[in-house]
Amino acid sequence: MQLSLYGKSNDQLWFTIFHEVCHIINHPQGELYIEGKGLESEKTKENEADIFAQDILIPMNRLRQFLVPDHKPTLQQIEQFANSINIAPGIVVGRLQHDKVIPMSYGNSLKVRYEWVKS
């Protein structure tokens, strides 16, 4: 598995790790997965890996319990929910942003940012 610091935040890093883990454990060995235009079977595998990563990080039943229709959660509520499922608040923020529950500009202070360090 090869990863980059695309996005440089903990939500994107952990999502990508579990996305790739799904390919390793659920898809044929020796296949190369590169995002982009591809066959329908490749899109299906990519969707499967996305769902796997989402559900590993934040179980859907817990997310449904947390979200109240037509209500944008506060940062404090996001932190409390993250603590209740033992995950970093930034990962919850990234999921809520992706699902368009909150704007892309909301909650970014809860994300951990990464930088490559020269040794």
pLDDT of the residue at 114: 85
Distance (Å, rounded) from C-alpha 10 to C-alpha 15?
8
What pLDDT score was predicted for residue 63? 95
Instruction: For 68-89, write each residue's pLDDT tens digit.
Output: 877 889 999 999 999 999 999 9
pLDDT at 119 > cutoff 90: no
Pick from 54, 50, 76: nearest CA to 64: 54
Indicate whether 17 pLDDT > 70: yes
Residue 32 pLDDT > 90: no
CA angle 55, 61, 84 (to 5 degrees): 85
Question: For residues 12 and 117, what is the distance between their CA atoms, to the nearest angstrom?
Answer: 19
The pTM assigned to this predicted structure is 0.82
